[in-house]
Amino acid sequence: MKLKQLPREYQKAIPVLNKLEQAGFEAYFVGGSVRDILLDQPIHDVDIATSAFPEEIKQLFPKTIDIGIEHGTVLVLAEEEQYEITTFRTESTYQDYRRPDHVEFVRSLEEDLKRRDFTINAFALKEDGQIIDLFDGLADLENQILRAVGDPQERFHEDALRMMRGIRFVSQIGFTLEQETAAAIQANHSLLGKISVERINVEFIKMLLGKERSTGLRTFVETQCYIYCPGLRDYGEALLRFADLPDEPLQTESQAWALLIDQLGLQESEIRPFLKEWKCSNQMIREVQMIVHGLIQRKRQMLEPMVLYCLGKENALKTEELMIYFGETPQLEQVAKCYDQLPITSMRELAIDGKKLLSVSDKKPGKWVSDALQAAERAVVEGNLANEASALVDYLQQNNHL
């Protein structure tokens, strides 16, 4: 198969391939971006594989960075662009199911492609548009089949994360796992216990954000991979309930976590420990906690002013977007309008502050100051009091806050 025209990102990189070829080496575009071209999807990275060894690459290009030279990868800076160029290689045994004991550089494209995970990721593309397909990946693309390159048992023992990658591809592009590949994942799912949570997290979130999330989740449960993911061992049925929700694509990672937590039935107090197990950042945890809190109210009624205020506009809209999964049409314009009509949107906009309270009170500084400000804040946000200094002071005095 030959492409009639290469995407602009590849055209810009052709001089890099030409320079390698003029020096007597083979060079090809490889990786997921080739697959994405064939699926008519946007490409993100331009990766190049070559028969040139790392030192030979560095001699050809004046600006390079050793980003993974022990694995044969050199970053080449060219015309304000940067390209990862990796030497053809074979890999030894994998003692820890994720990294080879050692890497051997070779001059053979076929030897290099044999170590790829799935046939649809094992293409090589020449600068003239010619597709090199050594493992019938084009047929698998046409039939929407996800098949491991060669022996799936070997591929998953080389890097157990490939099992999660396979399920993620099912969710992202809607392909069906080939029978032997699916059987090998189910047989080896326990190897995920050897993989870092951080790496599993990346694939898991991509799965939840996929356009065929329901299929991905069912495959996730059927292959039993969920058992070796943090905090999910006892939630197979809940994950299948999650799979039964409308297959509308989730937009953000925080929404994905929030909807998952809702379907698992976790309490608000359980959110932080659960997400900590997944190695989520504190910022992500806070955002998910807010969305889940908002979702609990929103499933009963429209968001009240104080909840809107605490969520902030962005998280309030993210919460509202999730209502599509509960049989309601998200009222995004109404939520935005209600938020914009709030008297204040942060404590900084309150007409009084701690200094003001201390000036009108005989009390010494203490926790009472923050308690009083919060009481004034709530009264203003809920529309019970004008945001005026004198009115706020009178209100706090009448309610024994000063």
Which residues belong to the annotated binding site for ATP?
A: 32, 35, 116, 159, 162, 165, 168
Distance CA 350, CA 357 (A): 12
DSSP for 336-390, please give it.
Answer: HHHHHT-S-SSGGGSS--HHHHHHT--SPSSHHHHHHHHHHHHHHHTTSS-S-HH
Coil, helix or strand for 125?
strand
Nearest in space to 214 (alpha carbons), one of 172, 269, 268, 152: 172
Tokens 């790392």 sit on residue: 54
**275: Cβ–Cβ under 8 A, 6 or more apart, which residues?**
257, 284, 285, 288
* Secondary structure E strands in 108-169: 124-125, 131-132, 145-146
Structure tokens at 394: 């009178």
6: left (phi over 0), alpha (psi -120 to 50) or beta: beta
Amino acid occupying residue 8: R
Amino acid occupying residue 199: R
Binding residues for Mg(2+): 45, 47
Structure tokens at 132: 């090199």
Exposure pattern of 120-138 as b/e (b: 16+ CB <10 Å)?
Answer: bbbbbbbbeeebbbebbbe
Gyration radius of the chain over CA positions: 28
Binding residues: 32, 35, 45, 47, 116, 159, 162, 165, 168
**39: Cβ–Cβ under 8 A, 6 or more apart, which residues?**
141, 173
Structure tokens at 371: 């308690």
Distance CA 122, CA 134 (A): 8
Structure tokens at 266: 């976790």
Binding residues for CTP: 32, 35, 116, 159, 162, 165, 168
